[in-house]
Structure 1
Amino acid sequence: MSSLFYILISIIILQFVVDAIVDFLNAKKFKDPIPAELSDIFDTEEYKKSQQYKTSNYRFGIFSGTFSLLLTLSFLIFGGFEWADGIARNYTTNPILIAIIFFAIIMIGSSIINIPFSYYSTFVIEEKFDFNKTSKKTFFIDILKSWLLTAVLGGGILTLVIWFYEWAGTNFWIYAWAVIALLSVFMNMFYSKLIVPLFNKQAPLGNGSLKTKIEDYTRKVGFELQNIFIIDGSKRSTKANAYFSGFGKQKRVTLYDTLVNDLNEEEIVAVLAHEVGHYKRKHIIFNLSASILLTGVTLYILSLFINTPAVSLAIGVSIPSFHAALISFGILYSPISEITGLIMNFLSRKFEYQADDYAKNTYAATPLITSLKKLSKTSLSNLTPHAAYVFMNYSHPTLLDRIKNLKK
């Protein structure tokens, strides 16, 4: 066991400890009194239910997180990666096929082990608090579809990356970056058309007063929008959402049917105005560009380490390889990934304020405030999160901060 092996172990444990401390600090605030500005969201019984929901998820997170940590450490310490690598090499000598079999063993094995945890979360915790609408058939079909998507997309990208490595050596990162960048742009534009239909039904928003109000608003702000869709989110959960995807002629707004049912028309238009704000302030383009840039940096750094045998051998394999080095590098790079994640979360929270301001200035603040309160109520959101937890995990400002900003 090399010093690099112990570095990998230390990184995994340190990340777990930091996350556990932040989660503990957040849990300590579950029973804090609700801020006065949010006092109209829950009554006494609803707030008690909210606290129970948060506590259930926290305790389940401790158990599942600890199990995942012990499993990962055991796989490293007792030669799990060498075992998977050995099986792959028994079938072929082709480096691309070896890598595909190697990752297939790990990904499918990990997914199967996680099924009981996902099942418990969906059919015990979410069911207990009246959120779950997923049938057991849908649950398992979703898993199979996810495996198929991972095999097609993940396997395809992995094949190209290793092929570039075999062909171009350490310069592989340039070609891999170009392909991944093109795929990222393509998926951003056509994700709702190609991937979403595999899991959900989408239908254009029908004619009526809601569509008229939306069209009046988008016309007023000079935002051409012909694609407004309703998605059957109620197929899986009572929780509501809305999102913006694509750009140019492919841009579309998708509203969950649960959101349409929970909010009145003024509130729905306010939520849509917030999504339009993201587009108008170029947040979609920025996030996509930042993601592509970070991918390029990551691939370049990978190219500096990929030919170092010690990087591969650190996870316990006996034969250095691209796929083994990829696992080791992923762990070594995770602290940097954490830092970039914190930066992106910080920027995302800033963007949410900007989108809220756009909705306030071009439509109205009050219906956006009431919509945020309703959505927090129906999802039993945490109204008193710890500042450290927000800093580490929140891509959106807290509800209290958003409302204060909207009332300025």
Structure 2
Amino acid sequence: MLRKWTFRAVMAYLLFGLAIYVYLFYLAGNAIPAQFKGTSVDPATFLNSRELMLSEEYSKIRNLLFFISTPYEWLFYFLVLIFGISKGFENWAKNTSKYHGIQTAVYLFLLSLLSFIVTFPLSYISYRFSKAYNISTQSFSLWMKDEVIGFWVNFIEMFIIVAVLYWLMKKFKKRWWIPAWLLSIPFMVFMMFIQPVVIDPLYNDFYPLKNKELETKILALADKANIPAEHVYEVNMSEKTNSLNAYVTGIGSNARIVLWDTTLDRLNEKEILFIMAHEMGHYVEKHIYFGIAGYIILTGVGLWLTSIIINRMVRKRGNELKVTGVSNLSSFPLFLLITSILLFAASPFTNWVSRYEETRADRYGIAMTQDKKAAVQTFQDLTKSGLSQVDPPILVKIFRYDHPTMLDRIMMVERFKE
């Protein structure tokens, strides 16, 4: 039985990977629709022949890695269960200490370390390709530093979540998902509050924008939009990437407007002001609050479905999965497997909502700056810096794109009426 389940799982993963490879490299078309040839959306008008070739190659590789990485994690969780590895880690943790907190920490460390080792090859391949295509500028040592920091940050967050979650599972046998859902709300708000000032600085250095003349113009836009911003921050991303970006993060007094130094170095002032107006559009449109509301709803539905599925799986397949009870730590890979599948299944909807909000922010940015030329140039420069596809395959757009495609964004600008 064990061999049969393992063979089927591995074969399913390999066949899926082969199907995705064929789709991305042979079936999905690369050309933009004929009616857009020669327009501002045609990559041939703002990329040279080498950049066109590299963008197609890199996009296909990056999309392939995206589609095979998530099922790879599913396969890992499944094999950890059926081979009794999770059960073995639980027994090891129980023999370490009589205290549940220490047991949870030991179990999670063993599982996290194994997960880090098993998924490391795909992470390294992704890093090497981004380096080869001149997207990443990180040295291997700096990249590994970020990987190690990420491991410990994820471990601490996961320890808090798992310790509380499995305590609730023991206390509330059937309705554990309700208090778990209610507690997830203040935890999420807390994480959003500390993200800009505690977690982000672990990876990069943040400092006030050096160009004070530009900061004055950005803050003038913020004042025009009734945004109570006092500072704009820049972050030294040039030591890690050639990509461009800017964002607003955090909530309350810890909210920050952040510009990557690559954006400051490679875009002109008008383009930067358009990007800032776009980010302010998210604030004015209250997207952060819609995002919080959406998170609360999806988390509640997700935990409810997970509770139903995990109970049924343990009841019917507990022996094969080496899990004797839902509240046992050994069931955690099953919990991760179910939630990961549910999140992937929900991604077309969440990506669609995100694309809608990004379009609204784009429209706000154009309306505020009244500079369609700068908006088009910005999107063309973003395409060039990230070697992005202007018009990606439909499956890539549905499952991967939380922003509109560059084709959609540029055409929206061209058709926009002030």
TM, length-normalised to structure 2: 0.84
Match of 1:397 among 404, 407, 416: 404
SS in 2 for 1:170: coil
Residues of 1 paired with 2:186 and 2:70: CA distance? Answer: 35
Match of 1:381 in 2: 388
SS in 2 for 1:274: helix
What residue in structure 1 maps to residue 377 of structure 2?
A: 370
Q: Deviations over 1:304-361 (max 9, x none)?
A: 5666642672662153242333432443455543332221111111111111111111
Q: Gapped runs of 5+ residues in structure 2?
A: none
* Mapped partners of 2:98, 2:334: distance in 1: 22
How many residues are matched?
404
Question: Residue 85 of structure 1 aligns to which amino acid in structure 2?
Answer: E
Confirm whether residue 284 of structure 1 aligns to residue 283 of structure 2: no
User: Which segment drifts farther, 73-82 or 178-187?
Assistant: 73-82
User: Which one of the candidate residues 281, 292, 298 is aligned to 1:294?
Assistant: 298
Paired residue for 1:152, among 156, 162, 173? 156
Question: Which position in structure 2 is the counterpart of 1:212?
Answer: 216
Percent of residue pairs bearing the same amino acid type: 24
Please tell me whether the aligned partners of residues 81 and 316 of structure 1 are also in contact (alpha carbons under 8 angstroms). Answer: no
Deviation string 1:163-200 (CA, Å, 9 cap, x unpaired) is 23333443433333233211211222331111011110
CA offsets 1:201-252 (integer angstroms, 9 cap, x no match): 0011135331122122222222221131101111211111111112343322
Aligned to 1:25: 23
Long gaps (5+) in structure 1: none
Which residue of structure 2 lines up, in the alignment, with residue 199 of structure 1? 203
Residue 254 of structure 1 deviates from its aligned partner by: 0.8
The alpha-carbon deviation at position 370 of structure 1 amounts to 0.7
Deviates more, 1:234-243 or 1:93-102: 93-102
1:3-402 counterparts in 2 under 5 A? 21=19, 24-28=22-26, 29=28, 31-32=30-31, 35-36=36-37, 37-38=41-42, 39-57=44-62, 71=76, 74-92=79-97, 94=99, 96-122=101-127, 124-304=128-308, 309-310=314-315, 313=318, 316-317=321-322, 319-322=324-327, 323-364=329-370, 365-402=372-409
Moved more, 274-283 or 36-45: 36-45
Per the alignment, do residues 316 and 169 of structure 1 end up closer, same or farther by CA in structure 2, a change over 3 Å counting? closer
Q: Distance in 2 between matches of 1:167 and 1:206?
A: 53
Deviations 1:242-268 (A, max 9, x none): 111123433221111111111111100
- The C-alpha deviation readout for 1:268-287, integer Å capped at 9, x for no partner, is 01001111111111111111
TM-score (norm 1): 0.86
Is the 8 Å Cα contact of residues 312 and 320 (structure 1) preserved in structure 2?
no
2:100 and 2:93 mapped to 1: Cα distance? 10
Q: How many angstroms apart in 1 are the aligned matches of 2:293 and 2:348?
A: 17
Q: Is the 8 A contact 1:11 1:332 kept in 2?
A: no
Residues 17 and 68 of structure 2 are in contact (CA less than 8 Å); yes or no, is this contact kept in structure 1? no
Classify 1:332/1:306 alpha carbon distance in 2 versus 1 (closer, same or farther; 3 Å).
Answer: closer
Q: CA deviation at 1:397?
A: 1.1
SS for the counterpart of 2:390 is coil
Distance in 2 between residues matched to 1:60 and 1:344, nearest whole Å? 21
